[in-house]
Amino acid sequence: MKIVRTAVAVRTAVRAARARGERIGFVPTMGFLHEGHLSLARRARGENGLVVASIFVNPLQFGPAEDFDGYPQAPRRDHALLIREGVDLCYEPRADAVYAEDFSTLIVVNDLDEPLCGRFRSGHFIGVATVVAKLLHAVEPDRLYLGAKDWQQSRVITRMIRDLELPVALVVCPTVREPDGLAMSSRNTYLTAQERAWAPNIHRALSAIAAEVRAGRLTRPGEVATAVRRCLRGGLGRVQYAEILDAESLRPVDLLRGRLVLATACFVGKARLIDNVVFTVPSRAARGTRKAGAPGALSKAGTTGGSVKVGAKRAPRQADSARSTTWRPR
């Protein structure tokens, strides 16, 4: 694996590969890699002739009170993991090379950057969209690989690619989870042992409540948000937001029908953890005369009628069952 530091160097290598007839796959990261990142690299390796990964902790997407200075880094470990996955090129630019002292051009994706994390992380998605645009300009890939854990980010980048007519296909891959269901994140390292044991309740709560929505036992968006908070109340986490929105537009919905995303952000100790479930609720006509069944009692720590329990076991590390989605410019 070759490590390059400048946009000129990565572009030169990519153009040489393209001249040989190879497709280019690109996996952007902030480093401190985990299996979620590696699954993207693996997918890219299977679909492209040249695979490029980037490691860049983007200062533009961090707020003044966030963890930019303390964000975990382990470059030698990351390099070894990327080599293991067959990555050909690692792009590691310096911050002052990405953002000149008088840098003044930002990309704003209106509407999609406002709900969910956007309400609490002012400017975050401006930083995300801007750095992804700059990385795409440097790498010039055919395919860009992102994970579904940050669903809002994937929607923002989808819209940016469409609106700017960027010649890249976005491949959104399923969230990879620990055996107990916790979404993999570099920030999981902030958790104490007690916090780590509690954190899987976030996904258990979302999954249980999504099942209630699909079954028709929760029918109003406000009820869904309240149910998430009630499930997680009294534990080690503090819910920052819980919302159910249209999965593509991220707009509020009046009727819980169609493709939806149920998303939350939760503070667990020093870590701010995000998670979501994307699912489809059929129309009443499609449901026919099937009865929803007796109401399930939502209780604390992500349980529904006692069916989801703290400490419930899952299969070894796996990705969410939702299929990967690919958006291609038209």
Catalytic residue positions?
A: 37
**Residues contacting 86, CB < 8 A, separation 6+:** 41, 45, 51
Residues in the chain: 330
Q: Are 114 and 252 in contact (CB under 8 A)?
A: no
> Beta-carbon neighbour count of residue 187 at 10 Å?
16
Cα–chain-centroid distance for residue 140?
22
- What is the gyration radius of the CA atoms in the chain, in angstroms? 20
Q: What is the 8-class DSSP label of residue 232? A: H
- Give the residue ranges of DSSP H helices in the chain: 7-19, 35-47, 75-84, 95-98, 124-139, 151-163, 193-198, 201-214, 221-232, 284-287
Nearest to 198 by CA among 141, 239, 164: 239
CA 73, 58, 54, 143 torsion: positive or negative? positive
Burial 56-93, CB ≥16 within 10 A → b, else e: bbbebbbeeeeeeeebeeeeeebbebbeebebbbbbbb
> Do β-strands 318-319 and 271-281 pair in parallel, antiparallel, or remain unpaired?
unpaired
Q: Are 166 and 136 in contact (CB under 8 A)?
A: yes
Which tokens in the block code for residue 299? Answer: 């209780």
Mapped onto helix, strand or coil, the DSSP state of residue 165 is coil
> Beta-carbon neighbour count of residue 176 at 10 Å?
21
